Structure 1
């Protein structure tokens, strides 16, 4: 399930990168990024731009194995970046990725870290990879981070889908410890239109993690603005921040966020 079309995902990769590039034009890129410990803003941008180029290679070559990714994992060489050079470089990479994805269409089979990889997966994943790293940069620079409601809804749905894949139980051994009777988590965005149905119920009572958009009683519930919920599940902002309310089993909530986190 996705709230956005394939074309919208391709467009958002460019749009979100553009918002990021414009914000760092005159910024101090040596500032640390609290939500990505060990990186400064320039390194964060090199990571994002490198990852986008990596995804573009996968889509362009229809790769069946992941290309090397050391160039955007080891960021030790990028401690003192020039914003005048980095902004255009970042924009170029995003446009190249979007163009390649658009030309390939949504159904081309490619390698992905989860089963059934297609270019549609890449387009959606890199939309939200870009959104969250834009948030990292904005928070580090003291800028207000906002994102369109439909993009945030799609980002939360994707986070739910990836975190509940059965393969995750093998990747993260601690996930199985979350499963048990009565273990449910409810997220409720308080600032969206009713028709958005911006509520999620995570069910940990079975043999696997499942989720659904629903208004249901749960062992623990979190109520707050949509953007705050998105940043909380990505562990970019404390879940008990301003405007958010936690009701019920807080230990279950903390364990769930810790085990299901990625990105």
Structure 2
């Protein structure tokens, strides 16, 4: 599976669906969110990743390193530019080179290639749902890989942060 190609394809679909829905359309499965907030969130996540990989950061980037995103229709073009930049960065990087990430391990660029593909793929679904048209199915290999990432990477992080108490 080529994570960078998945990121490019799903990011393009996300952008098209966001434009079709409009900035004020609600995101059904993210209460209180609109398409504008979804696009802003995803754009910032992509910016963070680009900073980590392009600059080889071994700590989270400072808040002042981020480009402020517009809150109007210009957000669509800003998102497209960020998507293009991160795709180029992740396509040209050494996946084994070091860069910070939140996992607590696997501090390699390859982590970000995988994580960004799934991040954008999930939010593409959100945007297509908000637009009210057809929702593209997840590619089988990507869906399986996304479930693996959820179980082996994200759940251990969430369980260590939240440490939920289970009752019988």
* Pairs within 5 Å for 1:88-99: 88-99=77-88
Contact 1:54–1:69 under 8 Å retained in 2: no
Compute the displacement of 1:129 (Å).
0.4
Residues 71 and 106 of structure 1: CA distance in aligned 2, closer, same or farther (over 3 Å): closer
Residues 169 and 29 of structure 1: CA distance in aligned 2, closer, same or farther (over 3 Å): closer
Partner of 2:144: 153
Q: Of the candidates 99, 124, 142, which is equivalent to residue 114 of structure 2?
A: 124
The TM-score, its normalising length taken from structure 2, stands at 0.85
Q: Secondary structure at the match of 2:166?
A: helix
Partner of 1:237: none
Contact 1:50–1:71 under 8 Å retained in 2: no
Compute the displacement of 1:104 (Å).
1.7
Q: Secondary structure at the match of 1:177?
A: coil
Separation in structure 1 between the aligned mates of residue 7 and residue 40 of structure 2, nearest angstrom:
16
Compute the displacement of 1:69 (Å).
5.0
Residues 71 and 129 of structure 1: CA distance in aligned 2, closer, same or farther (over 3 Å): farther
Separation in structure 2 between the aligned mates of residue 68 and residue 141 of structure 1, nearest angstrom:
34
Residues 26 and 143 of structure 1: CA distance in aligned 2, closer, same or farther (over 3 Å): closer
Separation in structure 1 between the aligned mates of residue 21 and residue 151 of structure 2, nearest angstrom:
34
Separation in structure 1 between the aligned mates of residue 158 and residue 14 of structure 2, nearest angstrom:
31
Separation in structure 1 between the aligned mates of residue 26 and residue 64 of structure 2, nearest angstrom:
21
Compute the displacement of 1:31 (Å).
1.4
Contact 1:49–1:93 under 8 Å retained in 2: yes
Separation in structure 1 between the aligned mates of residue 145 and residue 13 of structure 2, nearest angstrom:
19
Partner of 1:106: 95
Could you say which structure has the higher strand fraction?
1
The TM-score, its normalising length taken from structure 1, stands at 0.56
Partner of 2:18: 24
In structure 2, the gaps of 5 or more residues are none
Greater Rg, structure 1 or structure 2? 1
Partner of 1:213: none
Contact 1:49–1:90 under 8 Å retained in 2: yes
RMSD of aligned residue pairs (Cα, Å): 2.6
Contact 1:65–1:111 under 8 Å retained in 2: yes
Contact 2:27–2:34 under 8 Å retained in 1: yes
CA distances 1:162-217 after superposition (whole Å, capped 9, x unpaired)? 2453x55432211x638xxxxxxxxxxxxxxxxxxxxxxxxxxxxxxxxxxxxxxx
Q: Of the candidates 2, 7, 31, which is equivalent to residue 37 of structure 1?
A: 31
State how many pairs are aligned: 165
Could you say which structure has the higher helix fraction?
2
